Structures are given as structure tokens and as C-alpha cells.
């Protein structure tokens, strides 16, 4: 029997950039197929071609055994293909329900009854995620008011509501926590039982091995390998991904001196979702924030950065109390903030890579005008340290792959030379190799005297770089892990231990 999807020899160029030179992918009926590869290897481009959102320059694309003509996403939708966009496609001003139904009227001539049936289906879908939807989620709330993980769930619901036969999830789990991912995987498995196929893109190996039946690997625009998940292991997959380039493992480093002076201290930090949190980070230290997602870690970082100021409590930098009522004030005191939620907190969409990096430097150095010739070498250096794939600093930010955009937002802060770094799940969507480079860079900045506060939704990331981890539950610190308790076992136990 012909596979549901058979793609071969697909090529695509964007101007001078070759995004794909030999993309291939075969997906069977009722199969969960993982697609992986380094940032910029062509995964999103291949998926957009399959979903009719990007036109290919060459290659064969068959659906249900027949050549598919895809001139528009609608053509693919009619053939039963649905795409979850890595850069989310939601309209912030519209409600959750309106976003989910947006475009439905185009694809099917709906009578009143079937519209009502669709609403009932969506309500059923929402109830699947009900235990993990978090505060403030309802079908009638505008998407703009939702947190990153909630938006990601809306995008998932939006795709599922169309009942496709082949669903492509382009990094659909990047902003989700473990419990949310577990429910999402259950839904995928139920769909598989109904004969629905999915393509699942993720940079997290544990997820890929937990849920996929097959794994296809891309490198530099070429499909280089495909495995049955049961017959392969992580080493083989990583090897296919990176080729002969070595991958850094653990970040080894000398422990910071205990007597190091405090870079930043918070005393009794309080806000609506944070209850009297005190902590101190020394020069040279990387302090991790652990626990389930949404227990106050991001709220704390945004408070320290002045983006969501504390209602009570004091912040001291280098021993001096400072009022941090706005991000501009924080930046002037040498504080930097990197968020993995690039769409919402970070990107100046439609602007160049240069402008996206420069805006932080301008505030830090109180400049009103910039001299690109002076700044460019500095920015290029920061991007090079992270192995960023880009054509030129003048290219629009939207021309970069998702992971490479995230590297620009990291570089933005590296270029400011901050002494306190607040990292809010910064490596979301960044591939394994670049992640290791980024963490060793963070280690290097700490060694030069920076104090770093680091939240990651991925425990492995926390454990590989942190000197100490504070575990959060419901807006409070409930455990502190150091030395021999810096293990996955202790972290999991502390995170789940007192969770609501």
C-alpha cells in the first residue's frame, strides 16, 4: 500500500539561501513520525511545503498515492493536511474560540447544526486539557491575555479541530510543561488509533523516543536518515544529526567560591503569584529555578527585570538597594533578560537582525543613535559564538529559522555585557549542539563575574549547568538542591512533592 505521504527530492531556495536541497519524508497511515535536525536544517520549510504554505522549486509530493497540487494551504487542508505553526498563527485580539474557528467557514460549507457539532467537539478537546490549562484560560478570553503555554495549547486545538488525516506539529511542545506534554501525547496516540498520522518536530530526544514510531533526520537541507524508533537509539540519531561534528556533553567548570560577593539579592519579593521569595546570587554563580512550569519562576524573573514589578520586597545589586520599576531601569543597572518565548517578549517583527540586537545595546549604553559600523563587529562576534545561521545582519528577522531567531535574542544580551543575567527558559527551540555552546558561554560569563538566574522547563538543562537549584511550588521556594542532591531524582521529587 502506498504511504499516506511520500515526499522526495524536494528543493527550495529563498534568494541566495538554500533551505532544502534534497528533502524526503515518507509517513504511513496511523504513524507518529518524528522529524529532527539542527536549527536551520530545513524542517519547517519541508513541513510548510507539505502544508501548501510554501511552494517547492523541485521534487515530488504525493498524498494518498497521488501527486498533490498545493498552491495554497487550503489545497492541503482539503487533502486532509493540518499544520501547527512553529511561530504560532493566532490573532491576539480574538478570543480562544474565535481563533480556533477562524477559517473553518472557508473549508466547509457549514450549516448551523454542523457548526454546533464543531463547537461541541472543541469543548470536548478543551476538556481533555482541562487539568493543565492554568489560570485565566477560557474559550471567551482574548489570546493576548494568555501565557505562552496556553497559546500553544490553543494552536494545538485549532489544528485538531479541523480533523486532519495528517497533522504536522512544528515544535508544538516547546512551551509546554511535562503534564501538558503527557496529555498531548495521549491525544496523539488516540489519533493514531483512529488512523490519523502525525509529523512531530521537537529538539527533545526524550519526547521523540517516548512518542514516535519512526524518526527521520535532516542535516543542511538534506534528509540523511530514517529509522524505526524501536530499532535505533539516541546515539545513532544524534550521529545522523551532527555528522562528524563532535557534540559537547556536560559543561564542566570549577565551583564558584562560597564567599563570592552577591551580585543580586531579593528580599521578600511579593506579587500576585509570588509569596515572599528571598534569594541571592553570587558573582560566578548560576542559580537554577526548578519545579513544575508556572510555579512562579517566570514571574520572579520578570519581577527582577522590572517587567512585572514586585508589589513588595527589595532588590539589591552589588549590595546597593535599587528600585527596579521598569526594564529600562534594570538594564541600566546591568541586568539582562533572555526569554525563550520569542514571539511575545522578544521579536521586533519585520525589522532586521541588526535592529533586533541593537535595541538592547541602545538602552544599556543610553545611546540615542547607533553607528552600525561600530556595533556590527560586536554583534557578529556574539552571533558567531552561538553558531547562528544567517545571511547578513540586514536580513529581516523573519528570514531565520525558529532556533536561529532565538540565538539572535540571546546574542542581543551577550552584546550588552551585563553583570546579572536572567534566563527565562532561553534555549527553547535551540538545537542540542547550539544549546551546549550557549551553556558553556553562560558558564564563561559567570567565570568573568556575572551572576546568573536560570529557569528551564527541561530538568536536564538545569542539572547540566547550575551550581544550585531552588525548587518552586505555588509561588514559594520549597526546596534547595546543592552538591550531592543536584540529581534528577531529587529535582523530580521536590517538584512533584508538594505540587497542588
Ligand X SMILES: Nc1ncnc2c1ncn2[C@@H]1O[C@H](COP(=O)(O)OP(=O)(O)OP(=O)(O)O)[C@@H](O)[C@H]1O
Binding residues for Mg ion, rule: CB under 5 A, are 44, 86, 401-402
Within 13 A of 155's CA, how many CA atoms are on the CB side? 27
CB closest to ligand X, residue no: 403
Q: Which of 162, 389, 412, 435 binds ligand X (CB under 6 A)?
A: 389
Nearer to ligand X, 352 or 399 (CB): 399
Rounded CA separation 477/275 (Å): 9
Taking CB under 6 A as the rule, does residue 309 contact ligand X?
no
Any idea which residue has 554563580 for its cell?
Answer: 285
The helix (run of H) or strand (run of E) holding residue 472 is: strand 468-473
Backbone angles phi, psi at 47, to 5 degrees: -70, -35
Which of Mg ion, ligand X, none does residue 45 bind to, with CB < 5 to 8 Å depending on kind? ligand X
**Does 42 participate in binding ligand X (rule CB under 6 A)?**
yes
Tell me the C-alpha distance between 359 and 367, whole Å.
10
Residues 82, 51: contact at Cβ < 8 Å? yes
List the one residue from 41, 302, 339, 473 that touches ligand X (CB under 6 A).
Answer: 41
3-state secondary structure of 464: helix
Contacts 24+ apart (CB under 8 A), 445-448: 445/414, 445/421, 446/253, 446/256, 446/284, 446/285, 446/286, 447/253, 447/254, 447/284
Crossing angle for the helix pair 372-385 and 353-364, to the nearest 10 degrees: 110
Answer whether 340's CB lies under 8 Å from 405's CB. no
Is 450 in contact with 263 (CB distance < 8 Å)? Answer: yes
Q: Which does 302 bind (CB under 5 to 8 A by kind): Mg ion, ligand X, none?
A: none
| Contact of residue 389 among ligand X, Mg ion, none (CB under 5-8 Å per partner type) | ligand X
Stretch that binds ligand X, among 35-43, 412-420, 453-461, 481-489 (CB under 6 A): 35-43
Set of cell numbers at residue 312:
513588595
Query: 334 vs 402, which CB is nearer to Mg ion?
Result: 402
Shortest Å distance, C-beta 101 to ligand X? 28
Which residues have C-beta within 8 Å of that of residue 188, sequence separation ≥ 6?
A: 32, 198, 200, 211
Give the pairing of strands 312-317 and 262-271.
antiparallel
Q: Which of 52, 59, 256, 402 binds ligand X (CB under 6 A)?
A: 402
Q: Cα separation of 471 and 484, whole Å?
A: 15
Cβ proximity to Mg ion, 4 vs 172, nearer residue: 172
Q: Select from 36-44, 94-102, 320-328, 492-500 the region that touches ligand X (CB under 6 A).
A: 36-44
Find the residue with minimal CB distance to Mg ion: 44
User: Cα–Cα distance between 65 and 42 in angstroms, integer?
Assistant: 24
Nine-digit cell string for 247: 557534540
Contacts of 359 (CB under 8 A, 6+ apart): 348, 412
Does 45 bind ligand X (CB under 6 A)? Our answer is yes
Q: How far is the CB of 236 from ligand X (least distance, A)?
A: 20
Of 416-445, binders to ligand X (CB under 6 A) are 431
Between 221 and 475, CB nearer to ligand X: 221
CB of residue 41 vs Mg ion: minimum separation in angstroms? Answer: 9
Q: Which residue has the cell 478543551?
A: 126
User: Pick from 404, 416, 457, 473: which binds ligand X (CB under 6 A)?
Assistant: 404
Applying CB under 6 A, does 339 fall inside the site for ligand X? no
399 sits near ligand X (criterion: CB under 6 A): yes
> Residue 403 interacts with ligand X (CB under 6 A)?
yes
212's contact among ligand X, Mg ion, none, with CB below 5 to 8 A by partner kind, is none
Residue 214 to residue 100: CA distance in whole angstroms = 29
- Site size for ligand X (CB under 6 A): 20
In the list 17, 102, 225, 362, the residue contacting ligand X (rule: CB under 6 A) is: 17
Contact status: 291 vs ligand X (CB under 6 A): no
Nearer to Mg ion (CB atom), residue 364 or residue 435: 435
Q: What is the DSSP string of 4-69?
A: SEEEEEEEEEETTEEEEEEEEEEE-TT-EEEEEESTTSSHHHHHHHHTTSS--SEEEEEETTEE--
If one asks whether residue 95 binds ligand X (CB under 6 A), the answer comes out as no
CB of 44 to Mg ion, least distance (A): 3
Rounded CA gap, 297 and 291, in Å?
8
Told to check if 401 binds ligand X by CB under 6 A, we report yes
Minimum CB–partner distance for residue 428 and ligand X (Å): 11
Nearer to ligand X, 90 or 427 (CB): 427
Residue choice 23, 40, 290, 334 for contact with ligand X (CB under 6 A): 40
Among residues 4, 23, 39, 77, the one that binds ligand X under rule CB under 6 A: 39
Query: Residue 17 or residue 499: which is nearer to ligand X going by CB?
Result: 17
When CB distances are held under 5 to 8 angstroms depending on the partner's kind, the choice from Mg ion, ligand X, none that residue 42 binds is: ligand X
Residues near ligand X, by CB under 6 A = 14, 17, 19, 37, 39-45, 86, 389, 399-404, 431
Amino acid at each position: 500500500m502506498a504511504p499516506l505521504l511520500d515526499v522526495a527530492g524536494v528543493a527550495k531556495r529563498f534568494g541566495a539561501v538554500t533551505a532544502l536541497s534534497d528533502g524526503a519524508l515518507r509517513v504511513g497511515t496511523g504513524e507518529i513520525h518524528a522529524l529532527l535536525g539542527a536549527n536551520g536544517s530545513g524542517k519547517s520549510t519541508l513541513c510548510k511545503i507539505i502544508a501548501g504554505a510554501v511552494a517547492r522549486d523541485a521534487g515530488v509530493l504525493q498524498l494518498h498515492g497521488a501527486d498533490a497540487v498545493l498552491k495554497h494551504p487550503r489545497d492541503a487542508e482539503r487533502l486532509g493536511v493540518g499544520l501547527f505553526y512553529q511561530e504560532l498563527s493566532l490573532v491576539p485580539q480574538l478570543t480562544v474560540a474565535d481563533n480556533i474557528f477562524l477559517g473553518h467557514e472557508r473549508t466547509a460549507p457549514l450549516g448551523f447544526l454542523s457548526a454546533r457539532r464543531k463547537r461541541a467537539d472543541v469543548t470536548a478537546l478543551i476538556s481533555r486539557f482541562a487539568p493543565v490549562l492554568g489560570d485565566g484560560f477560557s474559550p471567551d478570553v482574548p489570546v493576548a491575555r494568555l501565557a505562552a503555554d496556553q497559546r500553544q495549547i490553543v494552536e494545538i486545538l485549532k489544528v485538531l479541530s479541523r480533523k486532519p488525516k495528517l497533522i504536522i506539529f512544528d515544535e508544538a511542545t516547546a512551551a509546554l510543561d511535562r503534564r501538558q506534554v503527557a496529555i498531548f501525547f495521549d491525544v496523539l496516540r488516540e489519533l493514531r488509533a483512529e488512523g490519523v498520522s502525525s509529523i512531530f518536530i521537537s529538539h527533545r530526544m526524550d519526547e521523540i523516543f517516548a512518542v514516535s514510531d519512526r524518526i527521520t533526520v535532516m542535516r543542511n537541507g538534506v534528509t540523511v536518515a530514517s529509522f524505526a524508533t524501536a530499532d535505533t537509539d539516541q546515539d545513532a540519531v544524534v550521529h545522523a544529526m551532527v555528522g562528524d561534528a563532535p557534540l559537547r556533553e556536560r559543561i564542566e567548570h570549577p565551583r564558584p567560591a562560597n564567599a563570592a560577593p552577591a551580585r543580586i539579592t531579593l528580599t521578600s519579593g511579593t506579587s500576585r503569584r509570588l509569596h515572599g521569595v528571598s534569594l541571592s546570587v553570587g558573582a560566578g554563580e548560576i542559580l537554577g529555578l526548578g519545579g513544575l512550569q508556572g510555579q512562579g519562576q517566570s514571574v520572579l524573573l520578570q519581577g527582577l527585570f522590572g517587567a512585572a514589578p514586585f508589589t513588595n520586597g527589595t532588590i539589591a545589586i552589588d549590595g546597593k538597594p535599587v528600585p527596579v520599576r521598569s526594564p529600562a531601569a534594570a538594564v541600566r543597572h546591568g541586568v539582562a533578560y533572555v526569554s525563550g518565548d520569542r514571539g511575545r517578549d522578544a521579536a521586533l517583527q519585520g525589522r532586521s537582525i541588526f535592529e533586533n540586537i541593537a535595541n538592547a545595546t541602545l538602552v544599556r549604553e543610553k545611546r540615542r543613535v547607533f553607528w552600525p559600523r561600530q556595533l556590527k563587529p560586536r554583534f557578529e562576534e556574539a552571533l558567531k559564538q552561538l553558531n547562528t545561521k544567517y545571511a547578513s545582519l540586514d536580513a529581516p528577522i523573519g528570514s531565520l529559522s525558529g532556533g536561529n531567531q532565538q540565538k539572535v535574542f540571546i546574542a542581543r544580551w551577550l552584546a550588552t555585557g551585563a553583570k546579572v543575567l536572567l534566563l527565562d527558559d532561553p534555549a527553547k527551540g535551540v538545537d542540542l549542539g547550539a544549546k551546549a555552546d550557549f551553556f558553556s558561554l553562560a558558564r564563561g560569563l559567570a567565570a568573568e563575574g556575572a551572576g546568573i538566574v536560570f529557569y528551564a522547563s527541561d530538568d536536564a538543562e538545569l542539572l547540566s549547568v547550575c551550581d544550585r537549584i531552588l525548587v518552586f511550588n505555588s509561588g514559594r521556594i520549597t526546596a534547595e538542591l546543592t552538591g550531592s542532591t543536584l540529581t534528577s531524582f531529587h529535582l523530580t521529587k521536590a517538584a512533584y512533592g508538594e505540587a497542588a
